[in-house]
Amino acid sequence: MKANKTMLGTLALAASLTLASVPSVLAEQLSIPVGSQADREAVSTPKIGMSQSSVRATYGDPLEIRGPVGQPPISQWHYRNFVVYFERDRVLHAVLKPNR
């Protein structure tokens, strides 16, 4: 019985010392300077639901077309300042490219 208490005490002490030596977890905070953030109001992008022909008529030919891939088919049209994602023939989303 006394051996069990001694063993339990030793294990508890070892666990305490091990946990005490673990460094605390640190998180890094990222900040983006205001000058490099995109101004969404300054760039006009296609609206959700527009057809591919409407986007082409309004914004011209894209610099690059990727896809379609997957089911439903998703394709990307890359313009100078933004990328348009289509599901079949309709705009799913438009995303501004980061300033470089």
Q: Which tens digits make up the pLDDT trace of 18-62? A: 666 556 667 787 766 655 555 556 788 999 999 999 999 999 999
Asked if residue 89 has pLDDT above 90, the reply is yes
Please check whether residue 41 lies inside any domain of the structure: no
Domain coverage including residue 73: 60-100
Residue (of 45, 58, 43, 32) closest to 85 by Cα position: 45
Question: Sign of dihedral through CA atoms 87, 89, 76, 47?
Answer: negative
Has this prediction a pTM greater than 0.85?
Answer: no
Please check whether residue 35 lies inside any domain of the structure: no
Phi first, then psi, for residue 64 (nearest 5°) are: -155, 145
Q: Are 91 and 49 in contact (CB under 8 A)?
A: yes
User: Based on the structure, what is the number of domains in the chain?
Assistant: 1
Please check whether residue 55 lies inside any domain of the structure: no
Please check whether residue 1 lies inside any domain of the structure: no
Please check whether residue 3 lies inside any domain of the structure: no
Confidence of residue 17 (pLDDT cuts 50, 70, 90): low
Confidence of residue 64 (pLDDT cuts 50, 70, 90): very high
Amino acid symbol at 3: A
Please check whether residue 32 lies inside any domain of the structure: no
